[in-house]
């Protein structure tokens, strides 16, 4: 899922979708699970030259991924769709004004308890050795752009610098995550829990540990039989409850935490030992996966009520 946080941010996506031919390309690729350029041109009844321009615009906007694959007479370019959903926020200017935003690097966790298989990596190299959880305490972890473990948790302190005398009305967290299988396995369910200030607010079941194609931003040195990309999840907790990708998943509301400008806010991502599906967790940050972002947090706030 692609989360577009403003109309301006989505301009290139909207331009790419502003063509009947490109819409048809996305429909065909979605139904066929990918197709090479020659097959796609024939299906659309257009020349390869005309198709190239359309594919480049879709690729530049992040809607389509193009990879080189070996064929009988050399290499061929295969096209596939990168996204299954696009979420567009159309909030008012007042909502944007009363919002604090922070990005958390994947390696900036404040506490952890993880079990192999596990590991961390920056965009240039592994951090320490894989399956040795001691490296989750190594100073180099702060540069990590990806981490993974089979069960356990990592916990982050969310920066809280909203103005004085304000209360927090909503927290929105966007991150790319998936399961953690030995190697990769697109069908490898894992129950991933979201815990805010030691209270579980939601659980989402990741369908797999994806490695069928390389992640768009995953570096070239990364191992082909390791986690390549995840799914972008959008977690929201407000006065109505807790939501993932717009669907309510629990009745736990923001009011129950009494959060204001003085509050410490901790987010724990966990795969619990007694979960139905203990399939691990991978967190993808900037420079890995299909979404060039870290853990993105937005907090809406309003004045505290004076008793």
CB 209 within 8 A of CB 279: yes
Give CA–CA dist 41/54, Å, rounded.
11
Strands 86-88 and 2-4 turn out to be: parallel
| Percentage of the chain lying above the pLDDT 90 cut | 75
Instruction: Using the structure block, give the residue that is written with the tokens 């304000």.
Output: 166
Residue ranges of domains in the chain: 2-81, 91-303
- Beta-carbon contacts of residue 278 (< 8 Å; ≥ 6 apart): 150, 151, 190, 191, 271, 272
DSSP 185: B
**The predicted structure's pLDDT at residue 62:** 86
CB 285 within 8 A of CB 155: no
Q: What are phi and psi of 23, to 5 degrees?
A: -60, -40
Quote the pTM value.
0.74
What confidence tens digit (pLDDT) does each residue in 60-73 have? 888 998 888 766 66
Six-digit token string for 271:
């795969």
Total number of residues shown for the chain: 307
Confidence of residue 83 (pLDDT cuts 50, 70, 90): confident
What confidence tens digit (pLDDT) does each residue in 87-116 have? 676 654 445 679 999 999 999 999 999 999
CB 135 within 8 A of CB 125: no
- Beta-carbon contacts of residue 205 (< 8 Å; ≥ 6 apart): 189, 190, 191, 192, 277
- The CATH number of the structural domain formed by 91-303 is 2.60.120.260
Q: Is 33 left (phi over 0), alpha (psi -120 to 50) or beta?
A: left
Q: What are phi and psi of 266, to 5 degrees?
A: -120, 135
3-state secondary structure of 180: coil
What confidence tens digit (pLDDT) does each residue in 271-301 have? 999 999 999 999 999 999 999 899 999 999 9
Burial code of 101-128, b = ≥16 C-beta within 10 A, e = fewer? eeebbbbbbeebebebebbbbbbeebbb
3-state secondary structure of 281: strand
**The predicted structure's pLDDT at residue 89:** 65
What confidence tens digit (pLDDT) does each residue in 142-199 have? 999 999 999 999 999 999 999 999 999 999 999 999 999 999 999 999 999 999 999 9
Fold of the domain spanning 2-81: Arc Repressor Mutant, subunit A (1.10.10)
- How far does Cα 204 stand from its chain's mean position? 13
């Amino acid at each position: 899922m692609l989360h577009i946080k403003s109309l301006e941010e989505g301009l290139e996506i909207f331009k790419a979708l502003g063509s009947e031919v490109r819409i048809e390309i996305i429909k065909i690729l979605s139904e066929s699970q990918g197709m090479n350029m020659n097959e796609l041109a024939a299906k659309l009844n257009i020349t390869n030259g005309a198709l190239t321009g359309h594919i480049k615009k879709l690729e530049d906007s992040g809607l389509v991924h193009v990879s080189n694959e070996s064929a009988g007479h050399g290499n061929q370019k295969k096209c596939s769709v990168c996204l299954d959903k696009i979420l567009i926020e159309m909030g008012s200017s007042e909502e944007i004004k009363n919002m604090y935003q922070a990005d958390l690097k994947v390696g900036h966790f404040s506490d952890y308890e993880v079990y192999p298989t596990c590991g961390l990596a920056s965009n240039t190299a592994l951090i320490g050795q894989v399956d040795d959880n001691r490296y989750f305490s190594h100073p180099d972890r702060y540069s990590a752009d990806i981490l993974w473990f089979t069960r356990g948790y990592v916990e982050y302190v969310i920066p809280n610098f909203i103005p004085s005398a304000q209360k927090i009305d909503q927290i929105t967290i966007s991150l790319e995550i998936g399961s953690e299988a030995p190697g990769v396995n697109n069908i490898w369910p894992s129950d991933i829990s979201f815990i805010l200030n030691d209270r579980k607010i939601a659980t989402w079941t990741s369908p797999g540990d994806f490695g069928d194609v390389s992640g768009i931003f995953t570096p070239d040195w990364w191992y082909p039989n390791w986690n390549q990309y995840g799914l972008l999840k959008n977690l929201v907790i407000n006065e109505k409850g807790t939501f993932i990708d717009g669907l309510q998943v629990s009745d736990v509301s923001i009011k129950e935490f009494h959060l204001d400008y003085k509050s410490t806010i901790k987010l724990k991502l966990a795969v619990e030992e007694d979960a139905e599906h203990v399939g691990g967790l991978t967190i993808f940050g900037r420079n890995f996966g299909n979404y060039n972002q870290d853990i993105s947090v937005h907090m809406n706030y309003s004045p505290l009520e004076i008793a």
